[in-house]
Amino acid sequence: MIVDDKSQKITDAQIIEYQPLVKNISYKFKNSGEPLEDLEQVGYIGLINAFNLYNREKGVKFETYATWLISGEIRHYIRDKHQIIKIPSWILKLNKKIDGFIIYFNKENNRFPSLSEIAEKFNLTEEGLKEILKARDAVQIVSLDQEQRKYSSDSYPKIEKIKSKNYETFKLPMEDIIALKTAISRLKKLQRKVIYYIFEKDLTQTKIAHKLGISQRQVSRIKESALKGLKESIEKN
């Protein structure tokens, strides 16, 4: 029994008719880490959406359409409950640079570099390098159908352990760079843009105002508030 008239109400009999379908689909996600009862409840939302949105004229069987919406609803629910751990962008970029160095080193020396050689290249302690490399595992997407959805906090990089090996003239130590990047990430979006244009792109406040569609006076105020926020954030660490 399929509702194809949006003016009709969905009856209990219709829900019961497709109860086995909801249960079967929910069971496929039994290893997601969520209670089966919760998955079924979410599945029924997908079923109700299927009743409300189904159009017979599209030529698709109702069971096929309902299966798609029920599965989609459950997947969205699980993804919302199990957020993928976010790795700072600077760690991801540094890992790409490490990859480039490894490829170059292998071509030049016909062997892969050791941990100490990589650490030396990027002026990092070996302990710090290991923490950066952990990000490679942490960003892996866990399959919803995997037998266990477990994530160990030991797999996430310990930022406080990432430090420069040696002091280099005219270069900030890695720990200071991390503190600065972390502080910048806490700024408001408009503040980050102004800081980026001033210190990365070396633009004048007039040009920045034109780019952002605001006045030069506003740019100046945003810069001052951003710098004040950075100072306070760094001093707290």
The reported pLDDT for the residue numbered 170 is 54
pTM tops 0.85, yes or no: no
Phi, psi dihedral angles at 219 (to 5 degrees): -60, -45
The answer to whether 181 and 90 have CB atoms below 8 angstroms apart is: yes
**Does 95 lie in the same domain as 28?**
no
- Domain of residue 217, residue span: 186-237
**Does 138 lie in the same domain as 95?**
yes
Give the domain CATH number at 201: 1.10.10
pLDDT at 20 > cutoff 90: yes
Task: Find all residues with CB under 8 Å of 165, minimum gap 6, and list them.
Answer: 119, 120, 123, 124, 125, 128
**Could you identify the residue written with the tokens 């720990």?**
175
The answer to whether 226 and 187 have CB atoms below 8 angstroms apart is: yes
Which among 121, 113, 10, 118 has a CA at the least distance from the CA of 66?
10
Tell me if 175 is assigned to some domain.
no
What single DSSP character describes residue 87?
Answer: P
Lowest-confidence region among 67-76, 137-146, 212-221: 137-146
Number of neighbouring beta carbons within 10 Å of residue 37? 9
In the structure, what pLDDT confidence band is assigned to residue 99 with cuts at 50, 70 and 90? confident
Phi, psi dihedral angles at 170 (to 5 degrees): 65, 20
**Does 112 lie in the same domain as 143?**
yes
**Does 63 lie in the same domain as 48?**
yes
Tell me if 224 is assigned to some domain.
yes
In the structure, what pLDDT confidence band is assigned to residue 24 with cuts at 50, 70 and 90? very high
Give the domain CATH number at 41: 1.20.120.1810
Tell me if 204 is assigned to some domain.
yes
pLDDT at 10 > cutoff 80: no
**Does 217 lie in the same domain as 155?**
no
Return the structure tokens found at 189.
Answer: 């979006």
Tell me if 6 is assigned to some domain.
no
**Does 67 lie in the same domain as 107?**
no
**Does 100 lie in the same domain as 57?**
no
In the structure, what pLDDT confidence band is assigned to residue 85 with cuts at 50, 70 and 90? low
Task: Give me the number of domains the chain comprises.
Answer: 3
For residues 61 and 54, give the distance between their C-alpha atoms in angstroms, rounded to a whole number. Answer: 9
Tell me if 222 is assigned to some domain.
yes
Return the structure tokens found at 187.
Answer: 């700024």
Tell me if 76 is assigned to some domain.
yes
**Does 107 lie in the same domain as 77?**
no
**Does 233 lie in the same domain as 221?**
yes
Output the CA angle 200-201-204, nearest 5 degrees: 120
Phi, psi dihedral angles at 59 (to 5 degrees): 80, 15
**Does 118 lie in the same domain as 97?**
yes
Which of residues 165, 195, 229 is at a domain's end?
165
Which of residues 81, 113, 135 is at a domain's end?
81
Encode pLDDT of 148-176 as tens digits: 444 445 556 676 777 777 766 556 677 77
pLDDT at 71 > cutoff 80: yes
Which of residues 52, 81, 110 is at a domain's end?
81
**Does 90 lie in the same domain as 159?**
yes
